[in-house]
Amino acid sequence: MHHSSSRIFALWAMMALYANAAHAISAADKCEAAKLKTAGKYDLCRLKAEAKAVQSGGVPDFGKCDLAYQAKWGKAETKGAGNCPSNGDQSAMQAFIGLHSDAVVTALAGGSLPEYASGMACGNGAIDAGEDCDFGTLNGASCASDGFVGGSLACGADCEFDTSGCSAARYVDNGDGTLSDTATGLMWEKKTGTFSVATPCPGGATCGDAHDVNNTYPWSSDGTAADGAAFSVFLATLNINVSADGSAITGCFANHCDWRLPTIAELRGILLEPYPCGTFPCIDPAFGSPVGYPAFYWSSTTYAGTPDLAWDVRFSNGIVEYFDTTVGDFVRAVRDDR
């Protein structure tokens, strides 16, 4: 009897081990489960913020919700190591959840539910008859194809294009000494002052205002390395930052600390007309046109096979050339704004 009981226990243990192995959670399952929990918490967080705003009469603050969602979603994909059933869908899913929570808020405030909540086609992920788009699916459309110069096209809760993020003008003046290019997603520095041949400031170390249109800077100190005043003085000045509380950073130009020299393609892209230009100065008027606009502006791109030469653009006529990197040229900073 004792031996029989032992056999039964051993059989039960083997069956339990088999069952556990059969139901082992895979990396894909873990990732999917983590994303479902994150999606649910994000939706709840947004609705709580909406409820708080209703009670206070203010505007809902989704900042903490967004940060928590992005951190947890990214962590789930990192742990998934490419095994998640879906990857790279953080932004699309965030927008999708936001649209749905917005629809709930609208309905509870006395409005009507959108079509997808009534069993209609909008919200099913496919573009059906009568729809411009379906949440994250824009059907290949963009601000440009919808008649705008640039910007970010979105899909509204009614499956119609939301063009609030589009712009009718290519360059938008941000009012802080910068311009945003809606066509490329770049942010450009605007220069200050009036150009004067009699008062150039070569070297840049003692030129005062880093944005002065009269300042020139060498690209390199030894002819090859990108260590001239264009980098060590001009960009260093724009990107210098300080902190008063050990958290927030201030001090950088326009509150951005990632300014750089543009590539030759980026620099050439702001010419007023296609190369060569037939007007003077050859730069979009949005950048400002100081009298006697200076000619050569450095790019970050060296001439192929010759590290002591770098490309520059002459904004007086649109000519693109390469030049000795130890010579002082004018500079204009840029950063990626997307």
For 176-233, write each residue's pLDDT tens digit: 999 999 889 999 999 988 777 655 566 555 566 889 888 889 999 888 899 999 999 9
Which position has the token pair 């009507």?
Answer: 112
Tokens of 204: 């840049």
Judgement on whether residues 197 and 71 belong to the same structural domain of the protein: no
Judgement on whether residues 248 and 187 belong to the same structural domain of the protein: yes
Outline where the chain has alpha helix (H): 2-22, 27-56, 63-80, 90-108, 229, 236-239, 264-268
Give every strand in the sheet of 215-218, ordered side by side. 201-202, 215-218, 328-329
Judgement on whether residues 213 and 281 belong to the same structural domain of the protein: yes
Q: Is 1 part of any domain?
A: no
Q: Is 21 part of any domain?
A: no
Judgement on whether residues 189 and 332 belong to the same structural domain of the protein: yes
Judgement on whether residues 246 and 292 belong to the same structural domain of the protein: yes
Judgement on whether residues 183 and 266 belong to the same structural domain of the protein: yes
Judgement on whether residues 227 and 95 belong to the same structural domain of the protein: no
Torsion from C-alpha of 134, 136, 83, 73, nearest 10 degrees: -130
Tally of domains within the chain? 3
Judgement on whether residues 121 and 98 belong to the same structural domain of the protein: no
Q: Which domain-ending residue is among 70, 91, 113? A: 113
Judgement on whether residues 185 and 157 belong to the same structural domain of the protein: no
Q: Is 205 part of any domain?
A: yes
For 52-86, write each residue's pLDDT tens digit: 888 988 888 898 898 889 889 888 888 888 888 88
Segments forming the whole domain that contains residue 145: 114-168
Judgement on whether residues 137 and 227 belong to the same structural domain of the protein: no
For 120-170, write each residue's pLDDT tens digit: 567 777 788 778 888 778 888 888 888 888 788 888 877 889 888 888 888
Phi, psi of 321 (to 5 degrees): -140, 175
Q: Is 11 part of any domain?
A: no
